[in-house]
C-alpha cells in the first residue's frame, strides 16, 4: 500500500494536497490519508496554523476558502510526517529545500520515491544543481518532477489545466505519479526529460519578472509578447548549455510554453514586478513581496541572481541579455525601463540568434 506525504503547505502545496487527497480516497493502491508537513507558524489569532488546518480542513493562511479533503492531515513535525511515506511530494519555495533535505537525511523510508514540484535551482561554488538532483543526492532516492501552467488558485477552483511529469528512467514510477495527480480538471502527462521540465519551471520565473516590469511600465501586448519570445529562446538555450540532453519538444508541453504564458499573464512574480516598476524601482522586491504576498514567496528574483552567477562563472553573460537585464534591474543596478533598453545593447552576432 502506498503512503503519501507532502513536504510543504504553501499555496501550491495545499492545492497539491487537495488534488492528491481526491485520488487516494478512490485508488485502492493508496492509503486514504495524505500527510502534509506544515512549516509551523502562529496565526494572529494565537492559534497554530497546523491546528487550524486540522480543525477547519482549510489552509487559512495560504489557501483560504478551499477545503483540502477530510483525509488531509497537517503535521508540523517533519520527521513524523515522512516516517511512513514511500511517496514524498516536495513543494516548498526552492530556497528552503536544502535545509529541508538536510533534516531528512536518514529519516525517510529506504524504498521512498520523490517528486519535486519546486520551481527553482540551487547554486553553489561547485556549480548549479536542479532541486530534484539535490533531493536525489541528499536522500538517495529517485526523484521525478511535476511542472506546468499551474497557478494554484485557479486549480483550487477546479478550472481545467495541464501539467507535465518529467522522469529519468522509470516509466512505471512516472505513471504512478500521473495517477496520483491526474483529475478530470488536472490533466497530467509524462515525458522522459527531468532536466528539460525542471529548467522550464525554473527559468520561466525570470521571464515573468520581465513581463511584470513591462506591465508596470504600461507597455502593451506587443512588447510583452516580444519579451516572452526572447525569454523562451533564452530558456531553451540556457537549459541546453547546462544539460545538453534537454529536448526541444519539452518546451511544447505544459511545463514549457504554457507555463511561460500563464506566469507572464497572472503569476505572483509578474504581479510584484509590476508594482516594482510602477514605483520606479524605489521599493525593493523584498519589501513588496512581504506587503503583497502575505507570506507567499517569490522565486523569480532569486532565480535571476542564481542564474546570473552561473552565467558569470561560465562566461555566458552576453548570451542571455534578458536574464542579465532582469538580474540588474531587480538588484537595483538599473532602472525598470532598462527591460526594453537591453535590446539596443546586444551585440549583433548574439541578436541574430535571439
Ligand atoms: N503558488 C503557485 O501557484 C505555484 C504553482 C506551481 C508551482 N509553484 C512552486 O511551488 C513551490 C512552493 O510554492 P508555494 O506556492 O506552495 O509556497 P508559498 O509561496 O505559497 O508559501 C511559502 C511557504 O514557505 C513556507 N516557509 C516559510 N519559511 C520556511 C522555511 N524556513 N522552511 C520551510 N518552509 C518555509 C511557508 O510556511 C509556506 O508554506 C515554489 O517553488 C513555487 O514556484 C507554485
Ligand atoms: O505565481 P508564480 O509567478 O510563482 O507562478 C506560479 C506558477 O509557477 C505558474 O505555473
Q: What is the pLDDT of residues 83-110, one digit of tens each?
A: 999 999 999 999 999 999 999 999 999 9
- Please tell me whether residues 186 and 209 are part of one structural domain: no
Instruction: Report the range of poorest mean pLDDT among 72-81, 123-132, 270-279.
Output: 123-132
Out of 123-127, 157-161, 248-252, 313-317, least confident range: 123-127
For 250-286, the pLDDT digits (tens) are 999 999 999 999 999 999 999 999 999 999 999 999 9
Give the domain extent around 323: 202-351
Confidence of residue 8 (pLDDT cuts 50, 70, 90): very high
pLDDT attached to residue 330:
98
- Whose Cα sits closest to atom 30 in ligand 1? 96
Residue 204 annotated to the active site: yes
Pocket test for ligand 2, best of 206, 263, 285, 301 (most atoms within 8 A of CB): 263
| Residue 145 and residue 243 share a domain | no
- With left for phi above 0 and alpha for psi between -120 and 50, is residue 140 left, alpha or beta? left
Which of 15, 92, 163 has most ligand 1 atoms within 8 Å of CB, for mutation? Answer: 92
For the chain, give the mean pLDDT: 96
The structural domain count of the chain equals 2
Protein residue with its CA nearest to atom 5 in ligand 2:
267
- Is the pTM higher than 0.90? yes
Q: Which residues contact residue 51 at a Cβ distance below 8 angstroms, ignoring those fewer than 6 apart?
A: 74
**What's the confidence (pLDDT) of residue 160?**
98
Residue 344, CA atoms < 13 Å, CB-side half-sphere: 5
Quick one: which atom of ligand 1 is closest to the CA of 120?
41
- Category of 92 on φ-ψ map: left (φ > 0), alpha (ψ -120 to 50) or beta: beta
CA 158 / ligand 2 centre spacing (Å): 17
Q: Is residue 315 part of a domain?
A: yes
pLDDT at 126: 80
- pLDDT value at position 125? 78
Q: Calculate the alpha carbon distances from 227 to 212, 253, 283, 303 in Å.
A: 10, 20, 23, 17
Residue with cell 544543481: 129
Using one digit for the tens of pLDDT, what is the confidence trace for 312-327? 999 999 999 999 999 9
Average pLDDT over residues 45-66: 98
Same domain, residue pair 178 and 212: no
Q: Determine what percent of the chain is predicted with pLDDT higher than 90.
A: 95
> Grid coordinates standing for 116?
519535486
**CA distance to 50, 108, 203, 232, per residue, from 323 (Å):** 38, 37, 9, 11
What is the maximum alpha-carbon separation in the chain?
Answer: 61
Task: Consult the annotation and say whether 152 binds a ligand.
Answer: yes
Strand intervals (E) in the chain = 2-7, 30-37, 58-59, 63-67, 72-75, 87-90, 113-116, 121-124, 127-130, 143-147, 161-166, 186-191
Instruction: Judge if 159 and 271 occupy the same domain.
Output: no
| Structural domain contains residue 109 | yes
Nearest alpha carbon to residue 191 among 129, 233, 245, 228: 245
pLDDT at 343 over 80: no
| Within a domain: 197 | no
Instruction: Tell me if 300 CB under 6 Å of ligand 1.
Output: no
| Whether the predicted pLDDT of 329 surpasses 70 | yes
208 and 186 housed in the same domain = no
Residue 124 pLDDT level (bands cut at 50, 70, 90): confident
What local confidence, expressed as pLDDT, does residue 127 receive?
A: 86
The predicted model gives 235-253 an average pLDDT of: 97
Amino acid at each position: 500500500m502506498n503512503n503519501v506525504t507532502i513536504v510543504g503547505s504553501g499555496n501550491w502545496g495545499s492545492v497539491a494536497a487537495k488534488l492528491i487527497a481526491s485520488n487516494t480516497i478512490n485508488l485502492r493502491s493508496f492509503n486514504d490519508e495524505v500527510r502534509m508537513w506544515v512549516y509551523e507558524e502562529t496565526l494572529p489569532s494565537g492559534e497554530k496554523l497546523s491546528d487550524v488546518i486540522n480543525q477547519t480542513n482549510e489552509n487559512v493562511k495560504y489557501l483560504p476558502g478551499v477545503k483540502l479533503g477530510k483525509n488531509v492531515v497537517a503535521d508540523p513535525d517533519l520527521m513524523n510526517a515522512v516516517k511512513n511515506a514511500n511517496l514524498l511530494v516536495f513543494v516548498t519555495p526552492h530556497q528552503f529545500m536544502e535545509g529541508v533535505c538536510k533534516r531528512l537525511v536518514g529519516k525517510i523510508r529506504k524504498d521512498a520515491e520523490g517528486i519535486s514540484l519546486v520551481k527553482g535551482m540551487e547554486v553553489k561554488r561547485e556549480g548549479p544543481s536542479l532541486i530534484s538532483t539535490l533531493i536525489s543526492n541528499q536522500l538517495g532516492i529517485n526523484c521525478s518532477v511535476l511542472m506546468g501552467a499551474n497557478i494554484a488558485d485557479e486549480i483550487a477552483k477546479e478550472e481545467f489545466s495541464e501539467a507535465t511529469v518529467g522522469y529519468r528512467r522509470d516509466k512505471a514510477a512516472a505513471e504512478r505519479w500521473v495517477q496520483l495527480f491526474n483529475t478530470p480538471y488536472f490533466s497530467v502527462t509524462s515525458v522522459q526529460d527531468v532536466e528539460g521540465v525542471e529548467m522550464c519551471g525554473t527559468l520561466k520565473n525570470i521571464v515573468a519578472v520581465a513581463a511584470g516590469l513591462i506591465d508596470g511600465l504600461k507597455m502593451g501586448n506587443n512588447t510583452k509578447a516580444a519579451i516572452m519570445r526572447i525569454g523562451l529562446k533564452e530558456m531553451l538555450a540556457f537549459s541546453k548549455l547546462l544539460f545538453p540532453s534537454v529536448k526541444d519538444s519539452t518546451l511544447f508541453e505544459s511545463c514549457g510554453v504554457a507555463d511561460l504564458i500563464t506566469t507572464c499573464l497572472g503569476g505572483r512574480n509578474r504581479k510584484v514586478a509590476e508594482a516594482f516598476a510602477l514605483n520606479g524601482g524605489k521599493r525593493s522586491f523584498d519589501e513588496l513581496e512581504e506587503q503583497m504576498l502575505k507570506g507567499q514567496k517569490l522565486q523569480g528574483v532569486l532565480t535571476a541572481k542564481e542564474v546570473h552567477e552561473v552565467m558569470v562563472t561560465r562566461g555566458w553573460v552576453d548570451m542571455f541579455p534578458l536574464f542579465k537585464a532582469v538580474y540588474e534591474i531587480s538588484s537595483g543596478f538599473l532602472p525598470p525601463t532598462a527591460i526594453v533598453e537591453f535590446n539596443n545593447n546586444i551585440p549583433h552576432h548574439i541578436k541574430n540568434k535571439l
